[in-house]
Amino acid sequence: MLYLALIADLVSSKAISNRLFFQKELLDLLTQQSEQSRENLIAPFTITLGDEFQALYNRPDSLFRDFWAIREIIYPEHCRFACAFGGLSTAINTTQTIGMDGPCFHRARALIIELKKEKHSLLRFFSNSDRDLSFINSGLDLVFSFTRNWKENSIRILNFLMAEHKIESIARNLDMTIRGVYRNIKANHIQEILNYQLSAIAEIKSLWKSL
């Protein structure tokens, strides 16, 4: 059986002020996000090192929702996310994403090392000669170029839209005008990013079935 392993690495984590408080906040968020995405996760988000955490998916439906929720809570910090398909060579641990091994984790680990060398801080899928994921990864690189310098409100607007909030509700929650929300969506290509994410998830699901 195939799984999707995710390994994430906080960028410049040693420079974060009050790291203990930050890590506590991150742990609380990851626990909450694991609960919200439990139908998609075999093993929950788990902090494995001071600046790394990982999860194991059995379906990708909440992948982007999880990514943006995490990006909002760590703002203004950044995080690299490496994803890889593959099997497991050990038993599944459903309570923590530790103590497991196999091709999915090997590939995700190789990719996170590559992303660190590139100083890339978004999301990418492991690709090899057997499976060309350049379409998905090129799109993710474009998303990174659009969003790397976003303000927190732009991230929050995208998250509200993913949760199917109405514009009026978003404006109230963020203490913005309705016009201001629309202007932010247009200026930051938020609707285009949401459309791309839907296409990417469909492509990932199709690829997963064919593996």
pLDDT score of 1: 86
pLDDT score of 184: 98
Which among 160, 151, 163 has a CA at the least distance from the CA of 188? 151
Task: Grade residue 127 by pLDDT with cuts at 50, 70 and 90.
Answer: confident
Task: Grade residue 129 by pLDDT with cuts at 50, 70 and 90.
Answer: low
pLDDT score of 16: 72
pLDDT score of 130: 57
pLDDT score of 201: 94
Report the alpha-carbon distance of residue 159 to residue 194 in Å, rounded: 10
pLDDT score of 135: 84
- DSSP-assigned letter for residue 93: -
Report the alpha-carbon distance of residue 117 to residue 121 in Å, rounded: 11
Residue bearing the bigger pLDDT, 13 or 155: 155
Q: For the residues 19-35, what does the mean pLDDT come to?
A: 86
Percent of the chain with pLDDT over 90: 71
pLDDT score of 159: 98
Q: For the residues 81-109, what does the mean pLDDT come to?
A: 95
Q: Are 88 and 102 in contact (CB under 8 A)?
A: yes
Query: If you average pLDDT over every residue of the chain, what do you get?
Result: 91
Percent of the chain with pLDDT over 70: 96
> What does the pLDDT look like over 34-56, one tens digit per residue?
999 999 999 999 999 778 999 99
Q: Are 34 and 44 in contact (CB under 8 A)?
A: yes
Say what the alpha-carbon torsion angle 96, 156, 3, 38 is, to the nearest 10 degrees. 50
Q: Can you list the domains of the chain with their CATH numbers? A: 3-131 (3.30.70.270)
pLDDT score of 125: 93
**With 90 as the cut, is the pLDDT of residue 82 above it?**
yes
Report the alpha-carbon distance of residue 117 to residue 82 in Å, rounded: 13
pLDDT score of 25: 83
